Amino acid sequence: MNGQTLVHSPVGGKLMTGPFKVLLAVAGIGAIVALYRFFLGLGAVSSLNDGYPWGIWIAFDVVVGTALGCGGYAVALLVYILNRGKYHPLVRPAVLTSLLGYGFATLAVTIDLGRFWSLWKVAILFWRWTHSPQLEVALCVAAYNLVLLVELSPALFEKWRSSPSTSLRAWSERGLRFVDRGLVWILALGILLPTMHQSSLGTMMLLPGPQMHPLWFTPWLPFLFLWNSIVIGYAVVVLEASFSAAVFGRRRETAMLTSLSSVAAWVALCWVAFRLVEVAVAGKLPLVASATGIAFLAEVLLATAGAAILLSQERRARPMWQVRAAILLLLAGALFRVNTYMVAFSPGPQWSYFPALPELLITFGIVAFEVVLYIVAVKTLPILGGAAPAAAQR
Amino acid sequence: MSHPFSVQGNGFAAGGTNRREFIKIITMAAASVGLTSSAATRIAEAAARGLKPSVIWLHFQACTGCTESLLRTSHPAIAELILDLISLDYNETLCAAAGHQAEDALQKAMAENAGKYVCIVEGAIPTKDHGIYCKIAGRTAVDLVTEVADKAGAIIAIGSCASWGGIPSADPNPTGATGAPMVLKGKTVVTIPGCPANPYNLLGTVLQFVTLKTLPELDEQGRPKWAYGRPIHEDCPRRAHFDAGRFAQKFGDEGHRQGYCLYKLGCKGPATHANCSLLHFGETDTWPIGIGHPCVGCTEQKIAFRVPIHTTIDIDRPTPPDTYPPIHAQQGHVSTVGAGVAGVVCGALLGAGWMASKKLTGGEGEQKQAPDRKEG
Amino acid sequence: MSLNRRSLLKVIATGGVAATASSNTAAAAPEHRVAPAGAMGMLYDTTLCIGCKTCVVACKQANDRQPDPGPWESEKLYDAPMDLNADTKNIIKLYHEGDVRSYFKAQCMHCVDPACSSACMLGSLHKDEVTGIVSYNPYYCVGCRYCQIACPFNVPKFEFNKASPKIVKCELCRHRVKEAATVVGGFTRYPPGQGPACCEVCPRQAVIYGKRDELLAEAKRRIAENPGRYCQDRIYGETEVGGTQVLYLSHVPFEKLGLPEFGDRPIPEAAYTVQDGIYWRLPFVAPVALYSVLAAVMIRNRRAETGMSEKEATP
């Protein structure tokens, strides 16, 4: 580990910038459409039907959304389990991104659920707990949201530590001490929970059995989903770090990201290798030569391309290629998940689905809202690493 | 006199049927209204013994069509049968007497058969202005029906007018015409709507009361369920045409000539409860739809004389048509707008990210953004 | 002493893989669920069905569903659903290819090991222990529609157009049952008006109900007495997907009627071998063990760092 002390500080600066307002507008539109959905039902704003009851809100907002929130998980594995402390500065922003990812996935679930007012029963009515894989996901995600909140609380407490109110200062000191003492137990939970539910997201799509395309129907699906979430996690961390460095003027930890990208590349290659070997060993290779096979190839090729870029040492060190590779890995990972939930799942040739415009507007709104909160958090809370340079106070 | 019926003390003479024919006819009639042949024998025996219940038939705002319809039944001579089965003690259309004599007959019949006679009401009862718009022998219809119904063993309202007001109650209903059940609140009134009512519906009800001393099961409007339980539409011989989508569009067109469904010409069959489609009129098996005219809904208060004859009505409980869905019916559709927007937005974001990455200068210690980037 | 990174990676990776693998192999031949002793079902015989659709009408009335104008949306003269939907729990479809025709009655199959109820988080869809009827209780439903994803026959439908939507599917008219069933003519039947409406109104007895065992016996009798009449001399639902309580006899291949060749493996098995293997076979041992390992590793790492500055030990 290097000898520098780790400092976080808010970025500060004007909140209501042009792009911020645009994001707010998109989020606002999404909110209005969501209101529509709550009063008129799912059919009024989406193309969801009885053949495809799950659309982009589940396949993208929830399944990919939680994976986008695996940055914290992926970095925690590196920093706390594999003891690579040099990645420490990446942790807090990653935890923020994770909390936002999981929080908004939960929001998306609430919008998607037809009878969301019964959601509390899932946590409370434990004598009815079934062995449904989805129950596991639901409880885990709910718990993980809390864990992330606790993991991020030091940022909040640090800000309040310098608050004019004495009681708030006292509480934040106590909070910081509490988190510090229980850190190991909280962090261990923060690694256990995503392991559990990311794999269960895969298990979930084993249930439709005969309706699943063989290229995605394998008992290794939970493992593939878990590994895939780590790939996406690293990609998100790279993108988030690059974005915030470029936009908020913080120091870009290029060296750290270089070695992180190397880890990401190998993890991605392992995923690709496993995927191909599994398909080959199960004798499913001939299926790749079909229309649906193209989706499979896309997943594999995009991941390989992203990893290939990062295998070259020269490219790996350049931010442009780090970002481009991360985009490819992210795309590949997201594609795998969307494929599993919407392409591999086929209820019959008579059914078709593509998201309707209001459905898309809600998704865009959710993503925009996520970015809005990210910006607000980064500007007002000590999230990003590095001291606020005097000149940077605008 | 030329009139086939004449008052002869306690009843009318049956015209020319011997006992075997009598039994045969009674059995047929009983069967057609759902009574067993043993019941038929009981009817015949009761009639032979001269145990004929007294019937008092009141007319108010009526066209007498219901009575005439009853009398027009001739194969078999149901009218004669009825008149052999019952003792028609008061009927303004048919009785030969008039004036005080007729009224005395009424009072006598009421007194002698108190609690046992059947009171049949034909025609609507005006209620406006204390009911002065129909007075017989100086007394309003309301008073008359209340008095006669008070001591009746059974009350039957025949025809739409007596059942719910009929044609006199059509807008603007200047006389406040209404049906017998609305005037005789609290009493069980069997209603036999129709304009005219199907005489066999009356026959069945009377037969049941005469032999079994009970009234048939009634719906919430007092109509016998066996006759008014199902709408015309359910038992219409042209239903297959409806289910297959074959309609007459205009009177006299090819569809009309082929006997297609008359729904588009305004047939009220789907909303009209009656048994005309099963039990036709006039012994020549004629009934409105049968001769090519849509049902006008004459039994239903909400339809008859309210909804124009050729106006189409909504189908209350649609049933499947004469077609079948395939094993795999095409469902769901791809929204092209959605596809377009999704493609554009996702492509734009990815492309922007890809191109924007070019602006990232590499290396440790590099500060800040490209000069033209705004604050995020 | 700090753990060697490579060995730790190996341990975690192999551990994870082993857990998943063991859950597959530890399954060995699992006991398939069997139908309860009092399982009620229906038997539909395509050779008897005349396509009158009285069962469709009766089902709508018994279950108080709305008519579906279908392709005749502008006229609303008919109730013409094209498939099961939120207003249609039972439907007659037609298979017609060249000279071959067959009607097909579609509704919930009341599987012996239902995928829908194994998908349901809180057991809103629940298989009755006595009658085996798969029933729906909206109180526990969150409207997630996982049951729709899971069902191989695409049976549960959802009220997408309502603000307070429910899942809709045949429940064998269990809401009509008031008294106990008795054996009538060899079949266990409720008093008239209490059994499934479709079976009670069928003019040809093309669909009948009773105990699954009785129906199986009847179906086998029909096959034995009518050689060559029924396709493959087979009862669909006897063993398919682990068995269903609604059985089919057909004179045309079942595939053509929309009953695919699913095989005998119950649908939930694929997911449950994995899920139960990881979490429930040794209840929660795997997650607790993993948690302990993670915590132990982190404590060890932290101890190794003691001596570094305070700030660095805080995240």
Beta bridge partners of A8: A385
Query: Closest to C290 (Cβ–Cβ): which among A125, A138, A195?
Result: A195
Rg (CA), chain B: 34
B319 interface with C at CB cutoff 8 Å: yes
pLDDT for the residue B375: 35
pLDDT for the residue B374: 36
The total of other beta-carbon atoms located within 10 Å of residue B354's CB is 14
Mean pLDDT of B98-102: 85
Cβ within 8 Å, pair C104-B327: yes
Residues 321-350 in B contacting A (C-alpha not used; CB under 8 Å)? 328-335, 337-339, 341-342, 345, 350
**How does strand C40-45 pair with strand B139-140?**
unpaired
pLDDT for the residue C127: 96
User: What are the chain A neighbours of B363 within 8 Å (beta carbons)?
Assistant: 254
Residue A6 phi, psi dihedral angles, 5° rounding: -95, 120
Residue B80 has pLDDT above 80, yes or no: no
Residue C24 has pLDDT above 60, yes or no: no
- Side-chain half-sphere of C176: how many Cα atoms within 13 Å? 22
User: What are the chain B neighbours of A51 within 8 Å (beta carbons)?
Assistant: 331-332
Residue B138, SS3?
Answer: coil
B314 interface with C at CB cutoff 8 Å: yes
Residue A24 has pLDDT above 70, yes or no: yes
- Of the candidates B258, B232, B260, B233, the one whose C-alpha atom is nearest the C-alpha of residue B246 is B260
Indicate the CATH number for domain C40-265. 3.30.70.20
Cβ within 8 Å, pair B319-C72: no
* Sign of the dihedral defined by the CA atoms of residues C235, C236, C240, C245, in that order: negative
**How does strand C40-45 pair with strand C246-249?**
parallel
B332 interface with C at CB cutoff 8 Å: no
Q: What number of H helices and E strands is found in chain A?
A: 16, 0
Cβ within 8 Å, pair B368-A327: no
Nearest-Cα distance to chain C for B329, in Å, is 6
Least confident of A15-29, A287-301, C298-312: C298-312
Cβ within 8 Å, pair B318-C53: no
- Residue B157 is given by DSSP the state E
Q: What is the mean pLDDT of chain B?
A: 83
What is the DSSP annotation of chain C?
----HHHHHHHHHHHHHHHHHHHHHTTSSPPPP---TT-EEEEEETTT-----HHHHHHHHHHTPPP--GGGTTT--S---SS-BTTBS-EEEEEEETTEEEEEEE----BSS-HHHHH-SS-SEEE-TTT--EEE-GGG-----HHHHH-TT---EE-TT-SS--EE---TTGGG--S--EEETTEEEPPTTSS-HHHHH-TT--EEEEEHHHHHHHHHHHHHHSTTTSGGG--BTSSGGG-BSEEEE-SS-GGGGT-----SS-TTHHHHHHHIIIIITTTTHHHHHHHHHHHHHHHHHHHHHBTB-HHHH--
B327 interface with C at CB cutoff 8 Å: yes
What is the DSSP annotation of A263-305?
HHHHHHHHHHHHHHHHHHHTT-GGGGSSHHHHHHHHHHHHHHH
Cβ within 8 Å, pair C142-A122: yes
Distance CA A93, CA A241 (A): 8
Tokens standing for residue B86:
């019952």
Cβ within 8 Å, pair B373-A246: yes
- Of the candidates C141, C151, C153, C149, the one whose C-alpha atom is nearest the C-alpha of residue C115 is C151
pLDDT for the residue B57: 92
C260 interface with B at CB cutoff 8 Å: no
pLDDT digits (tens, 9 = 90+) for B151-194: 999 999 999 999 999 999 999 999 999 999 999 999 999 999 99
Mutate to test the interface with B, among A23, A46, A357, A378 (most CBs of B within 10 A): A357
User: What are the chain A neighbours of C108 within 8 Å (beta carbons)?
Assistant: none
Beta bridge partners of C182: C189
What is the ipTM score, two decimals?
Answer: 0.92
Kindly state the percentage of chain A with pLDDT values over 90: 68
Name residues whose C-beta falls within 8 Å of residue A35's C-beta, 6 or more positions apart in sequence. Answer: none
Tokens standing for residue B34:
């759902």
Cβ within 8 Å, pair C154-A347: yes
Query: Closest to B320 (Cβ–Cβ): which among C56, C83, C258?
Result: C56
Cβ within 8 Å, pair C91-B314: no
pLDDT for the residue A247: 86
User: What are the chain B neighbours of A302 within 8 Å (beta carbons)?
Assistant: none
Mean pLDDT of B102-124: 90
pLDDT for the residue B280: 85
Q: What class has domain A47-346?
A: mainly alpha
Residue B311 has pLDDT above 70, yes or no: yes
Tokens standing for residue C240:
């398919």
Task: Tell me the one-letter amino acid at A195.
Answer: T
Rg (CA), chain A: 21
Distance CA B276, CA B274 (A): 6
pLDDT for the residue C313: 46
Mean pLDDT of C69-73: 86
Mutate to test the interface with C, among A8, A9, A36, A50 (most CBs of C within 10 A): A50
Distance CA A280, CA A69 (A): 31
Mean pLDDT of A389-393: 45
C92 interface with B at CB cutoff 8 Å: yes
Q: What is the mean pLDDT of chain A?
A: 90
Mean pLDDT of C170-177: 96
pLDDT digits (tens, 9 = 90+) for B129-146: 999 999 998 999 999 999
pLDDT for the residue B9: 34
Cβ within 8 Å, pair B357-A331: no
Mean pLDDT of B236-246: 95
Nearest-Cα distance to chain C for A209, in Å, is 6
Task: Tell me the one-letter amino acid at B326.
Answer: P
Which of B95-99, B113-117, B205-209, C100-104 is most confident? C100-104
Place of tokens 């579609």: C106
Tokens standing for residue B135:
């007075």
Distance CA C305, CA C315 (A): 13
pLDDT digits (tens, 9 = 90+) for A180-230: 888 889 999 999 999 999 999 999 999 998 999 999 999 999 999 999 999
Position B74 confidence tier, pLDDT thresholds 50, 70, 90: low
pLDDT digits (tens, 9 = 90+) for A158-186: 888 888 888 888 888 888 888 888 888 99
Residue B14 has pLDDT above 50, yes or no: no
Nearest-Cα distance to chain C for A303, in Å, is 21
pLDDT for the residue C309: 46
Residue C28 has pLDDT above 80, yes or no: no
Which residue of B lies nearest to A52 if distances are taken between CA atoms? B332
pLDDT digits (tens, 9 = 90+) for A57-75: 999 999 999 999 999 999 9
Mean pLDDT of C115-143: 95
The residues spanned by each domain of chain A are: 17-46, 47-346
Nearest-Cα distance to chain C for B242, in Å, is 9
Mutate to test the interface with B, among C60, C61, C77 (most CBs of B within 10 A): C77
**Distances from the Cα of C97 to the Cαs of B12, B250, C80, C101, C256, in angstroms?**
69, 37, 21, 7, 9
Residues 67-96 in C contacting A (C-alpha not used; CB under 8 Å)? 83-86
Distance CA B76, CA B84 (A): 13
For residues A378 and A243, the answer to whether their CB atoms sit within 8 Å is no
For residues A84 and A388, the answer to whether their CB atoms sit within 8 Å is no
**How does strand B139-140 pair with strand B87-91?**
unpaired
The residues spanned by each domain of chain C are: 5-31+270-313, 40-265
Distance CA B145, CA C283 (A): 82
**Distances from the Cα of C48 to the Cαs of C54, C198, C250, in angstroms?**
14, 14, 9
pLDDT for the residue B81: 64
Cβ within 8 Å, pair A354-B376: no
Residue A44 has pLDDT above 70, yes or no: yes
Write down which chains contact chain A via at least 3 CB pairs under 8 A: B, C
Nearest-Cα distance to chain A for C169, in Å, is 12
